[in-house]
Amino acid sequence: MVWPLPSRPKYSPLPGQDAPAIAKKLNLAARLRRNRKAEWSRRLVRETALSADDLIWPVFLCEGEKTRELVASMPGVERLTIDLAVRAAVEAAELKIPALALFPLTPQHLRNEAASEALNSENLVCRAIRAIKKDVPGVGLIADVALDPYTSHGHDGILRGDKVLNDETVFVLAEQALNQARAGADVIAPSDMMDGRVGAIRAALDKENFEDVQILSYAAKYASAFYGPFREAIGTGAILCGDKRTYQMDPANSNEALQEVAQDIDEGADIVMVKPGLPYLDIVFRIKDRFEVPVFAYQVSGEYSMIMAAGINGWIDGDNAMMESLTAFKRAGADAVLTYFAPRAAKILREMA
């Protein structure tokens, strides 16, 4: 279909003719541009403020010592060995970033269908938690609870045939959460989307006197195309069998997110999260508007990589786009944002202070 060209406005002069006279003054009592006339004025009326206090830094872990492994699809992001993850925590403390979220690249020979490495007290995440807490105790540590970094098939739960089993998975997740709490995790973050896992984890933690360990529930996690680079980073992209649509949410649904959040709050979640972030700001807004609980959002790997790629190629101003995107999370109602931009954004915020 060929779209018709818009007709020429009547007031547009023809070639060779003078433009019609324009009124020198409009009779406007309200001129909204007045408050935008200068930086000092824009600052005074700014409705949303972003600070380092709003940022959580996701960190990918790998085995070894003094090693950084580039994540090809995430420019500027690296997997870190534990010794370097400790240094990242020191940097986070210096930049006033409150917390790190840890995600492991589990070696293939330690993966199996039962995800048994998730329950190993000497697994990569548990060793990293102990090392960071020893040297940088003031930085919060968020431990991901899901089985996909540990399964040989890449799913977040126990697989039977082509079905991810809910209840059997929940029992393993509760044990995984205990394993991380014993290592010193401050926050347990179930990202698996199994029904009933928050209640089971809360009961398991309380039974072992971990009442002060918080639960950050990935309450509204969608089956999204934006997770690809993350799956490369943790080594599940190439091994994932099928997809995750039987347990992660349909991107077309909004009311269902409210049901998921209500259920997780009832089961003991202290904080709820929306994932992905920017494509789901309407969900962030609805949850914050409905529930009186902290709401976090995850600016996921695909969101990060799009901004980085466009910035590297000169298609957009990368730093300004980064800061604009993070401000949008806050404007929508997010109390904090998990973002791979955390250290970069915190440095800019420090320079602006």
Residues labelled catalytic: 221, 275
Taking each helix axis from N to C end, the angle separating 318-332 and 342-352, rounded to the nearest 10 degrees, works out to 90
Sign of the torsion angle spanned by Cα atoms 65, 68, 69, 71? positive
Tokens representing residue 329 in the block: 């999370």
Indicate the SS3 state at residue 140.
Answer: strand
The rounded distance, in Å, linking the Cα atoms of 167 and 195 is 8
User: Do the beta carbons of residue 265 and residue 293 sit within 8 Å?
Assistant: yes
Distances (CA, A) of 123 to 106, 107, 181, 205, 308: 9, 11, 13, 19, 32
Residue 83 burial class via C-beta count within 10 angstroms: exposed 0-12, middle 13-18, buried 19 and up? middle
d(CA 107, CA 110): 6
Q: Structure tokens of 253?
A: 């649904």
